Amino acid sequence: MHHNQASESSKNVGALHGLRVIDLSRVLGGPYCTQALADHGAQVIKLEPPDGDETRGWGPPFLDDTAWYYVGVNRNKQGIAVDLSREEGRAILWQLLEGADVLVENFKPGTLARWGMDYERDLKPRFPRLIHCAISGFGPDGPLGGLPGYDAVIQAMAGLMSVNGASDGPALRIGLPIVDMVTGLNALAGILLALAEREKSGHGQSVDIALYDCGVSLLHPHLPNFFGNGRTPQRSGNAHPNIAPYDSYATGSAPIFLAVGNDRQFARLCAHLGIAELADDARFSNNRSRCAHRAELKAALEARLALHDCEPLARELIQAGVPCGPVQTVDAVATHPHTRHRQMLVEMDGYRGTGAPVKLSRTPATYRTPPPALGADTRKVLDALGIDIDTQRKLFEAGVVKG
């Protein structure tokens, strides 16, 4: 925990304090969203099937018996294990919804309806203020409606892979589940939009978030370029399709990434490397010309970059106003002093996590509890619902709940 966080967390309760979220989601998109809600003070009750969210097994590495994959997106939540395929399990969910503001789920479209919990038909009449967020692969209908969606499959189908990778290599999956995480962020935005509107109308609504839509929404600038010229965007490795020099370049040591967006920055880069005359060369004098002569530009820059070490050069260039940086590995990011300074590392009770990227001045995120063991809070939550000990015992014995 950050040193001043413990003292502040008692009085700082977060921007979403008082918000109650029932989280039926598993794997990544939903949990990424609900962890962000929880970091900002919402009470999130995560319901898992008796055998748990499947990502608990997605290791190694493991923390105790739980995969770090699960640990990465489930802090600040209460965890209960309930079998929702059974009537008695759903009765508990109905009770939880009585006091809830938000329901997040990523079941296959039609699952809730089959359980008598369809939003329009069943939930809305009974809980008019409830915000229901459904995360699915392709949405409930249409040519691909109701089909299951997985991050890498959507990366392939939504065109992301087609523009990722070396120009002479195959289409390549982006090396992290970007569609799932952007889906989580869009779910977060959708829920916050619905909450803002509820302030005015007093009514909840259903938020429909599809991985497919989120994948397509990421195609900037490729889709605009296609609208403009009708040409199918191609892979360009690390090079930007519209800007030069904007690529990874060899130095005397590790590669450096230069992201030079205008002529002023280009002139500074050339001056720093002792080749000021390059900025006046007709082939390189503006971005359009530089894009037309990429190969010559790269050769001229790399001839000078070879005389430098990446790290000190990157420091000097960025101080001089040239956007650039070393291509760092994950271990270097985790130990970088700026990562710590920005509070992007969270540490408590053997748990280490990634900090919240949204920094609010009055009501910052807080880190209160590590991710729950399976069913860790089942008894506590059932107690809070006023379910008596005898009934609880029967539910446990029947395998409806676990804890």
What the chain holds in terms of domains, given with CATH numbers, is 5-218+337-402 (3.40.50.10540), 256-326 (3.30.1540.10)
Q: What is the pTM of this model?
A: 0.92
Rounded mean pLDDT of the chain?
Answer: 95
Is the pLDDT at 263 greater than 60? The verdict is yes
Tokens standing for residue 110: 């039609």
User: Confidence class of residue 11 from pLDDT cuts 50, 70 and 90?
Assistant: low
Catalytic residue chosen out of the listed positions 83, 180, 247, 377: 180
Q: How far apart are CA 127 and CA 147, in angstroms?
A: 28
Average pLDDT (307-312) is 96
pLDDT tens for 329-363 read: 999 999 999 999 999 999 998 899 999 999 999 99
User: Confidence class of residue 9 from pLDDT cuts 50, 70 and 90?
Assistant: very low
Is the pLDDT at 4 greater than 70? The verdict is no
User: Confidence class of residue 240 from pLDDT cuts 50, 70 and 90?
Assistant: confident
Rg of the chain over Cα atoms, rounded to whole angstroms, equals: 25
Cα four-point dihedral sign 168, 169, 173, 175? negative
pLDDT tens for 20-46 read: 999 999 999 999 999 999 999 999 999
pLDDT tens for 154-203 read: 999 999 999 999 999 999 999 999 999 999 999 999 999 999 999 999 99
**Residue 246: left (phi > 0), alpha (psi -120 to 50), or beta?**
beta
The percent of residues in the chain predicted with pLDDT above 90, rounded, is: 95
Is the pLDDT at 6 greater than 60? The verdict is no
Average pLDDT (357-376) is 97
pLDDT of residue 312: 96
Average pLDDT (389-401) is 97
The reply to whether 180 belongs to the active site is yes
Average pLDDT (262-275) is 96
Average pLDDT (132-147) is 97
> What are the φ and ψ backbone dihedral angles of 292, each rounded to 5 degrees?
-75, -20
pLDDT of residue 241: 84
Question: How many angstroms separate the Cα of 24 from the Cα of each of 45, 71, 199, 223, 276?
Answer: 9, 17, 25, 34, 59
Q: How far apart are CA 391 and CA 382, in angstroms?
A: 10
Average pLDDT (54-83) is 96
